[in-house]
Homo-oligomer: A and B are copies of this chain.
Amino acid sequence: MCAVVGVYGTLEAAKCVRRALSAALQHRGQESAGIAVSDGTDIRVKTVLGYVKNLTDETLLELLGYMAIGHTRYSTAGKSRIQEAQPLWTDCLHGQVTVVHNGNFVDQRRERSLMMQLGSKFDTTSDTELFLHLYCRSNRSKLKDRLIEVGKRLQTAFALIVMTQDKLVAMRDPWGFRPLMVGKVGGTTVIASEDCAFRQLQMMTGSRVSELRDVEPGEMIIVDDDGVHSDIVFHADHRLQCVFEHVYFSRPDSKTFGLHVEQVRRNLGRSLASVRKIEADIVVPIPNSGIHAGIGYSEASGIPIEWALVRNQYVGRTFIAPIQSDRENSVEEKLLPIVHLMRGRRVILVDDSIVRGTTMHKIVSMVRNIGEAKEVHVVISCPPSISPCFYGVDTPRRKELLAVSHADEICEVIQADTLTYNTLPNLLAAVAPHQDLFCTSCYTNKHPVLEMLGLNQDGLPERRRTVIPLKPSQG
């Protein structure tokens, strides 16, 4: 879970990248941020821990060039060192190269081990470094061939933007796990994780957005002085777009995988109302994650919605020092309960997920004790998570997941009167007519790609390595 951005063709490239990261894509990662810029001959990189804002105006002055890429990182799978922050930079036989990555290479432990056998040194714990090793070791002389070679080796989920001294390249895995969009803002080519980034650049520059579309699964787009070149270079039998982008991760104003996120969430809320008939007085969405499902739930159930929990706009992580940024404010400081709307009432709380349960327990307790609600029913817009994700979403390992460890007792843990999850069929219906294009592994614990690769859930070979079933590239 990260954001990637690329901009080609403006001397404000770094500024555009920062605006897109800061105003549109910050929700995809707050652990670190970084920008790399090229002036055609040299690449400069700046990375910071924490929010994009830490990339100050002063920093921008040093980032001169006509193309740039940027990244925000969600969490630290590896060591919490600034060295892990992307863009990663490398100098090699093929010149300088930088990369930003959203996704996960499920095969990384095996690949890392293989590369080490060949004498590679790994300077980070990030799987993204694998990409750079493969790139440097490639002996293909053409950039495109080199990236195809690398892309075929990388398993499995990637939305990558690569920048060399004079080229910007976007590439997306053939299953389409992670979103990536391309378009123009005025005459500038922009690539970004979500389309809200394009609207920010439209507002910043005053130029119109045009030719906005998904980077296709398996597509590689190369942007350079000769223009924009595109090919489908990776192939798979089917698509596995991450449904969690709609449930949780994308912004509600984005159109991801061709569907309006707001609409999908409202659909989820609507179908959720049919799962169990609850006698209640009001529906209260938990902001901001439950807002749109809450609206749908109210519409379908006929139970009036009340905005009885308001988000405190003054509470947020501090930006000052990395070490302080860890100290999150408690949920009690984040939500303002409007007591008279809840007092003595039967309340349905709507949210998009329960991961470990501690936060939901605090909210239920707040609604009951401070809000003086008579009953508190919790409804969740998606099915219970029963598997970690191996394709780029940083969910806890399976045994920690509340839905697995306490399946029957979650309701008691969070001390709600009832707890209702949505169903998998409802989830698929919410993304209709594209339901066949989505990955739902986190709700099914079925991992066809892992099986195909002969990997167990630790990313290690299960039995023996199977042939990688990528079709031959046409490119």
Listed in ascending order, the chain A residues whose CB lies under 8 Å from chain B are: 19, 22-23, 26-27, 30, 44-47, 51, 53, 58, 79, 81-83, 88-93, 116-123, 125, 132-133, 135-139, 196, 199-200, 202-204, 251-253, 255, 260, 262-263, 288, 291-292, 295, 307, 310-316, 318-320, 323, 329, 332-333, 336-341, 366, 370
Picked from B51, B139, B313, B366, the residue with its CB within 8 Å of the CB of A203 is B366
The answer to whether B332 and A203 have CB atoms under 8 Å apart is yes
| List of B residues within 8 angstroms of A132 by Cβ | 121
| List of B residues within 8 angstroms of A340 by Cβ | 255, 260, 262-263
Contact A116/B136 with A253-B338, A310-B253 known, Cβ cut-off 8 Å: yes
Give Cα distance in the complex from A260 to B315, angstroms: 23
Picked from B89, B315, B337, the residue with its CB within 8 Å of the CB of A199 is B337
The answer to whether B292 and A323 have CB atoms under 8 Å apart is no
Grouping DSSP codes into helix (H, G, I), strand (E, B) and loop, the A interface class, with mixed when no group exceeds half, is: mixed
Give Cα distance in the complex from A297 to B76, angstroms: 46
Contact A338/B252 with A314-B316, A332-B23 known, Cβ cut-off 8 Å: yes
Kindly provide the distance from the CB of A394 to the nearest chain B CB, expressed in whole angstroms: 18
8 A-B residue pairs with Cβ-Cβ distance under 8 Å, sorted by A, are A23-B333, A83-B83, A90-B123, A92-B122, A119-B137, A196-B336, A252-B310, A314-B316
**Which of A119, A122, A199, A200 has most chain B Cβ within 10 Å?**
A119
| List of B residues within 8 angstroms of A292 by Cβ | 307
The answer to whether B316 and A45 have CB atoms under 8 Å apart is no
Picked from B26, B91, B314, the residue with its CB within 8 Å of the CB of A27 is B314
The answer to whether A136 and B123 have CB atoms under 8 Å apart is no
Picked from B121, B204, B315, the residue with its CB within 8 Å of the CB of A23 is B315
| List of B residues within 8 angstroms of A82 by Cβ | 47, 82-83
The answer to whether B263 and A291 have CB atoms under 8 Å apart is no
Kindly provide the distance from the CB of A141 to the nearest chain B CB, expressed in whole angstroms: 13
The answer to whether A336 and B253 have CB atoms under 8 Å apart is yes
The answer to whether B338 and A313 have CB atoms under 8 Å apart is no
Give Cα distance in the complex from A123 to B128, angstroms: 13
| List of B residues within 8 angstroms of A339 by Cβ | 199, 253
The answer to whether B251 and A122 have CB atoms under 8 Å apart is no
| List of B residues within 8 angstroms of A315 by Cβ | 22-23, 26
Kindly provide the distance from the CB of A135 to the nearest chain B CB, expressed in whole angstroms: 7
| List of B residues within 8 angstroms of A366 by Cβ | 203
Contact A90/B122 with A79-B44, A320-B320 known, Cβ cut-off 8 Å: yes
